[in-house]
Amino acid sequence: MQHGAKLIFVGMHYGPTTGQFDPFHSTSFLNLMNRYGINAFPTGLVNRQTVVSSSTLASNIDFAVAADSYVGIKMETTLSGTDCSLKTTVRFGSDFKTKTVKLVLMLVEDELKYNQVNYLANNSSYQSHPYYSAGNPMVNYTHYGVFRRVITSNLEGDIIPSANTGLGGEYVNTTLVNVTGIAAGKGKIVALVINDTGSATSTQVLNAQEVVVGQTQNF
């Protein structure tokens, strides 16, 4: 997912490892897995358009980052206890009235520690990789951008009315996000604006943005 020349990564954990689920496991993205035919991990989904393996991830990210965006996203948050007031403003620099434009909001968390399976450990094809000698599992591995919960009705997004998506149009979404259990300073809210064509091959992220809980991120 990209915003200008910046990558926004969301790590979604699913499935048991050695007979148990890790503490970040979620079933919220089962519909996305079915839509894109994802049945193994790790698998990457770039801009909700391209399913990639580890060997093709870098080239697909380079292509996505090079693309221009005609959608701006501003996110304003105010934290009060375990409640975070979120105001998301989307502005359109092109006409998307004939498209099915959706807003997706997710809560993620950085610096979560848990053991990580390491398929590169002692793998002769990866002797120069830093994980080659890191052991399996890697104990207390630090995870970033871990998906914690969806804020919109689901991960496929809520429709932005076509009346707001024309050239120069603006859409404002306000909501209250429960951040119970999220460590102070480690929580982020990620926003995606997507053109949902109904097809796994032509749907795409028009832009993405993120904000640290309690802060503001301008367009």
Within 10 angstroms of residue 142's Cβ, the number of other Cβ atoms is 11
The pLDDT assigned to 64 comes to: 53
Structure token digits, residue 162: 């076509």
Q: Structure pTM? A: 0.89
Q: Structural domain boundaries of the chain? A: 2-110+145-217
Q: Are 60 and 183 in contact (CB under 8 A)?
A: no
Nearest to 148 by CA among 39, 50, 29, 49: 29
Within 10 angstroms of residue 152's Cβ, the number of other Cβ atoms is 18
The pLDDT assigned to 134 comes to: 94
Structure token digits, residue 137: 């599992």
Helix-strand-coil percent breakdown of the chain, rounded to 5?
10, 40, 45
The CATH code belonging to domain 2-110+145-217 is 2.60.40.10
Within 10 angstroms of residue 105's Cβ, the number of other Cβ atoms is 22
pLDDT, mean of each 10-residue run, the chain (219 residues): 64 80 89 88 83 62 64 97 97 97 98 92 91 94 96 97 98 98 97 93 92 97
